[in-house]
Amino acid sequence: MPLPFASPFDCVLVDAPCSGLGTLRRDPDIRWRRRESDLIALAAAELTMLQRAAEIVAPGGRLIYATCSSEPDENEGIADAFLATAPEFRAVNASETTTRLPAAVIDARGHLRTQPHVHRLEAFFGAVFERRP
């Protein structure tokens, strides 16, 4: 199905509807609403959303993928799967996108990552991709 946009965007944010497992401190009931099998369907939907959003990113533009999940299947797994299917994109270290992100929230792969036991925040994840010109 063609997208309803006439021209591409310089920046697209996919704030993916995920398991929400990174918000257990704030929403402890989520542990009773989620099953391990939910992650498979959620990850598939998240990857599809990211791939569809990539279609409207302009050359040289950025695509940002964010979740409130602590699960690798929804975070690095999706980032890696996306890059494997989208050779026209490259990963960008989140610290290169702004000077406002403290180094403490950038992981070894250049993703934004907060962890409750380290940062006293909910578990959030962010990956930045750039479409090659």
Within 10 A of 74 (CB to CB), how many other CB atoms are there?
A: 25
Q: Which of 14, 47, 50, 68 is catalytic?
A: 68
The C-alpha atoms of residue 64 and residue 11 are separated, in whole angstroms, by 8
The yes-or-no answer on residue 18 being catalytic is: no
Report whether 56 contacts 5 (CB < 8 A). yes
In terms of C-beta density within 10 A (0-12 exposed, 13-18 middle, 19 or more buried), how is residue 5 classed? exposed
Report whether 90 contacts 130 (CB < 8 A). yes
Question: What positions carry a catalytic annotation?
Answer: 68
